[in-house]
A and B are shown apart, each in its own frame.
Chain A
Amino acid sequence: MKILAVDDDPIILELLAQILSVVGTHELTTAANAAEALGTIAQNGAAPFDCFLLDIHMLGLGGVELTRQIHQMNSYAFTPIIMLTARSEKSYIERAFAAGATDYITKPFDLTEFTTRIRITEELVLSRKAHIAAAKPASARLKVTQAAELLDPSRPFTVQGIKGVIDYTAMENYVAQLSRSSLFGSTVFAFTLRKSEAYNDALAAEDFRFLIRDVAQVIADTLSNQHFLMSHAGNGTYLCITRSGYHPDMAQLNERVNISLNNVQIMTVDGTELYPRVSAGAAIRLVWKSGEQISSALATALTTATDAAAEYERLKTDFFQIGKSA
């Protein structure tokens, strides 16, 4: 991978160069602060970076704000960003994920952990490159990436520009690395867009993407009083995690989301109005869960939401069948 590492500690930059030379074939460029990094990015426009390693705590512009600025650039809208963070900076991590970071590595470095995080990121980069190649790219990279990601609606794709909404890989990394104490007070749940497959079949790719984004915006607005992160997990399903002890009544929350969806006008590019509705799954507390139990909780949240959407459609169909026979 072609990597840009940004850290104001020269020892960290030396360590990164050394470790990356051992763990794979990577091309590393370094910068001592955010301003220098932005200059380096501009100079490398012809051969963009595949990944960024950013110190979360830098004098001047910090890693969180730099993440936000990098993701605002078209060329780097989907580029993985790994935050470098001290153990004492866990409180910054949620903000970093919310700004678009995909993962984080804790300082002082543990070589095994470091290697794992880099390998996962490299797989992500290679996977995205493969999809871009399969999409027979046009000229603009952003359009190509979006087109590639829309080839398979079952894949998670990034919904951008909504506060609290992050990449699905970032969500998995965020949850996986939370300590037990951080999970105290955390609840995970999901919503599924009803008839998402039908929408995907009927709509143009761009319209489907807008629909997914608009629904995400409505869910985010409904949760705006809570401390939350959300990501689109594919198939019109949205995974949410809330902190600070909020344990929602899912029936009420689902109703509020659907009332909001009813109150906003969601339209296709050609002006056709859509009437999307969602179904909510179970709210699962993460306290005392770790490792596989957390993964299992996420899977349960997703499954219960997709099942609820399917069940809603089944009941509606059965209702009409009964109506026909009556």
Chain B
Amino acid sequence: MNAHSLQMPGIDHIRAHFVALLEDRKAGIAQHALAAWDGETVEDINSHLEHARNTLHQIAGTAGTLGFDALGATAERCEAQINAHLDGPYADLAICPGEIIWCIDTFVEACTSIIEASGST
């Protein structure tokens, strides 16, 4: 957690915006992950993984600054797994590794917790 940032004036407004965006971002990542899992061609699978990776990358870059360290770390882990697959020896095969789906499932769960906690406050 970046305590300095959390004490900044105006940070609550940005946190609220981040959480508001999280619902759509979470849904988009989940949809791309499922589409990659169900995909039948290399292009289809890798394209969906890239879309999911791009959004995970954005979340990994901001969550920590806003105090959502665990979420940021999970997003970074998912992004690293996708990168490892896309840059790895099996990137030209029509497969989506189960570890990626498992990691994204954990990420989606973390998003849901934050959104629910935000709604209850």
Q: Which residues of A contact B (CB under 8 A)?
A: 8-12, 14-15, 18-19, 21-22, 57, 59, 84, 86-88, 107-112
Contacts and interface: CB of A to CB of B under 8 A. Distances in A.
A9 B63 CA distance: 12
Interface stretch (B14-22, B26-34, B35-43, B102-110): B14-22
21 contacts: A8-B58, A9-B61, A10-B17, A11-B17, A11-B58, A12-B62, A14-B17, A15-B14, A15-B62, A15-B66, A18-B9, A18-B14, A22-B9, A84-B61, A86-B61, A88-B83, A107-B60, A107-B65, A109-B2, A109-B65, A110-B2
Residue of B2, B65, B79 ringed by the most chain A CB atoms within 10 A: B65
Contact of A11 (B14, B57, B83): B14
Interface of B: 2, 4-5, 8-11, 14, 17-18, 21, 54, 57-58, 60-66, 72, 76, 79-80, 83
Contacts of A59: 54
B21 A11 contact: yes
Contact of B4 (A14, A57, A88, A111): A111
A163 B14 CA distance: 40
Contacts of A84: 61
Contacts of A15: 5, 14, 62, 65-66
Given A22-B9, A108-B2, A86 B18 contact: no
Residue of B17, B57, B58, B63 ringed by the most chain A CB atoms within 10 A: B58
A14 B58 CA distance: 13
Contacts of B21: 10-11
Contacts of B76: 86-88
B80 A109 contact: no
A86 to B, nearest CB: 5
A53 B83 CA distance: 25
A98 B35 CA distance: 38
A57 B10 CA distance: 26
B83 to A, nearest CB: 7
Residue of B8, B17, B62 ringed by the most chain A CB atoms within 10 A: B62
B5 A109 contact: yes
Nearest to A14: B14
Contacts of B80: 88
B58 A9 contact: yes
A11 B62 contact: yes
Contact of B18 (A11, A57, A109, A112): A11
Contacts of A110: 2, 4
Contacts of B61: 9, 12, 84, 86, 107-108
Contacts of B18: 11
A10 B11 CA distance: 14
Which 9 A-B pairs have CB atoms at the shortest separation, nearest pair first?
A108-B64, A107-B61, A111-B4, A108-B65, A9-B58, A11-B62, A109-B65, A18-B10, A14-B14
A88 B63 CA distance: 15
B15 to A, nearest CB: 9
Contact of A22 (B8, B54, B65): B8
B83 A19 contact: no
A111 B9 CA distance: 13
Contacts of A8: 58
B5 A19 contact: yes
A80 B43 CA distance: 39
Contacts of A109: 2, 5, 65
Contact of B62 (A9, A21, A111): A9
A108 B72 contact: yes
Contacts of A21: 10
Nearest to B62: A11
Contacts of B14: 11, 14-15, 18
A109 B4 CA distance: 10
A88 B82 CA distance: 12
B43 to A, nearest CB: 18
B62 A86 contact: no
Contacts of B62: 9, 11-12, 15, 107-108
